[in-house]
Amino acid sequence: MRTYLVTGGAGFIGSNYIHYMFRKYDNEIRIINVDALTYAGNLENLKDLEGRENYTFIKADITDKEAIEKIFAENDIDRVVHFAAESHVDRSIKNPEVFVHTNVIGTACMLNAAKAAWENPDGSFKEGKKFLHVSTDEVYGSLPDDGKSYFYETTPYQPHSPYSASKAGSDLLVKAYMDTYKFPANITNTSNNYGPYQFPEKLIPLLINNALAGKELPVYGDGMNIRDWLYVDDHAKGIDMVQEQGKLFETYNIGGHNEKRNIEIVNLVIDTLQEMLPDDDPRKKNVSKDLIKYVTDRKGHDRRYAIAPDKIKAEVGWEPETKFADGIKKTIRWYLDNQDWLKNVTSGDYQKYYDSMYEGR
């Protein structure tokens, strides 16, 4: 039975990935989820897995060398899938240090622990061991708004935000381990994900949460920035396919040619909520385009992201399955059906975060 060490599995993509893997492999695999449970980590995302014999949660920080080494010493890990990171660009603009600490130092710590556990005395690596580093298309910087230029695996790195710079640093460390030690790894660089369990600091769940409460919908700048949206299950499937079918030491971009301007997303969320909410739901009257408020732009706001997924399609056979029109409906349905989840994550510190981020904007 293959044993996976998943870092950041209590976050948005990590928890969706763990669900995806158990749906696909059921009792053929074992997963150890290592997460520090920061504001973004939530064990509620995984509560249906409690009691599963082939699932273990360990609360640990990826920068804690001893804790991570102990996990490798006590378990024969076959696969590492490394999600754990600080992930929100706006937070990185306010407080960059924690991004460097978690994303760069934490990745170095994961690489060192895996290398020490997997290396043979002659410097080669034990058969079948693999590390997958989950990264972002933001490392490539910003594309012109021309509808025809794309991020390829060969596009030079040009990160702009402290978040993307820290992710670029972590990617380069993984590349250095592959080049120097022939450390068995892959890197994936993926576009914007959406779906269930996403923390409502990110655009789509923030819009849903605010619209239902009749709160303003903050649109940065002119609302014409472009992001390339991918349903989170398609990302999970891509990660698994790269790890099992991709070529070791390679980078794969994961994206599905689904570019949207931010203002299109805002209008779509409002229209879909109006369509889905029953007439007698008191929140329906809150949901209106009058809530849209153009606010001061994000500092250094990248204009356009767009992935060229040619390599993953040709070499791995991956293609996204979820059409955006369906994915957005599934996502909104999930938030409507999981209002308690939303209430829990927005109680406490969320309000303080929101006020500090949006006050006076």
Residues making contact with ligand DAU (CB under 6 A)? 87-89, 136-138, 191-192, 202-203, 206, 218-220, 225, 227, 262, 298, 305
Nearer CB in complex with ligand DAU: 305/324: 305
Quick one: what does residue 14 bind among ligand DAU, ligand NAD, none, with the CB cut-off 5 to 8 Å set by partner type? ligand NAD
The count of chain residues that interact with ligand NAD, using the rule CB under 6 A, is 31
Marked catalytic residue, from 137, 201, 228, 302: 137
Nearer CB in complex with ligand NAD: 37/100: 37
Marked catalytic residue, from 4, 163, 305, 335: 163
> Does the annotation mark 138 as catalytic?
yes
Closest distance of CB 34 from ligand NAD, Å: 6
Nearer CB in complex with ligand DAU: 116/224: 224
Contact between 40 and ligand NAD by CB under 6 A: the answer reads yes
> Does the annotation mark 145 as catalytic?
no
The three-state DSSP-derived secondary structure of the chain is: CEEEEEECCCCHHHHHHHHHHHHHHHHHEEEEEEECCCCCCCHHHHHHHCCCCCEEEEECCCCCHHHHHHHHHHCCCCEEEECCCCCCHHHHHHCCHHHHHHHHHHHHHHHHHHHHHHECCCCCECCCCEEEEEEEHHHHCCCCCCCCCCECCCCCCCCCCHHHHHHHHHHHHHHHHHHHHCCCEEEEEECCEECCCCCCCCHHHHHHHHHHHCCCEEEECCCCCEEECEEHHHHHHHHHHHHHHCCCCCEEEECCCCEEEHHHHHHHHHHHHHHHCCCCCHHHHHCCHHHEEEECCCCCCCCECCECCHHHHHHHCCCCCCCHHHHHHHHHHHHHHCHHHHHHHHCCHHHHHHHHHHCCC
- Which among 33-41, 203-211, 218-226, 319-327 is the span making contact with ligand NAD, rule CB under 6 A? 33-41
Task: Please pick, from the candidates 192, 225, 251, 253, the single residue that binds ligand NAD as defined by CB under 6 A.
Answer: 192
> Does the annotation mark 163 as catalytic?
yes
Task: Please pick, from the candidates 33, 87, 107, 272, the single residue that binds ligand NAD as defined by CB under 6 A.
Answer: 87
Contact between 14 and ligand NAD by CB under 6 A: the answer reads yes
Nearer CB in complex with ligand DAU: 82/88: 88
- Residue 158 CB coordination number (10 Å): 14
Contact between 10 and ligand NAD by CB under 6 A: the answer reads yes
Closest distance of CB 111 from ligand NAD, Å: 14
Closest distance of CB 189 from ligand DAU, Å: 9
**Sign of torsion, CA 267 151 173 239?**
positive
Quick one: what does residue 220 bind among ligand NAD, ligand DAU, none, with the CB cut-off 5 to 8 Å set by partner type? ligand DAU
Contact between 312 and ligand NAD by CB under 6 A: the answer reads no
Helix axes 106-118, 162-181, angle to 10 degrees: 20
Binding residues vs ligand NAD (CB under 6 A): 7-8, 10-14, 35-38, 40-41, 61-63, 83-87, 102, 106, 134-136, 167, 190, 192-193, 199
Active-site residues, by number, are 137-138, 163
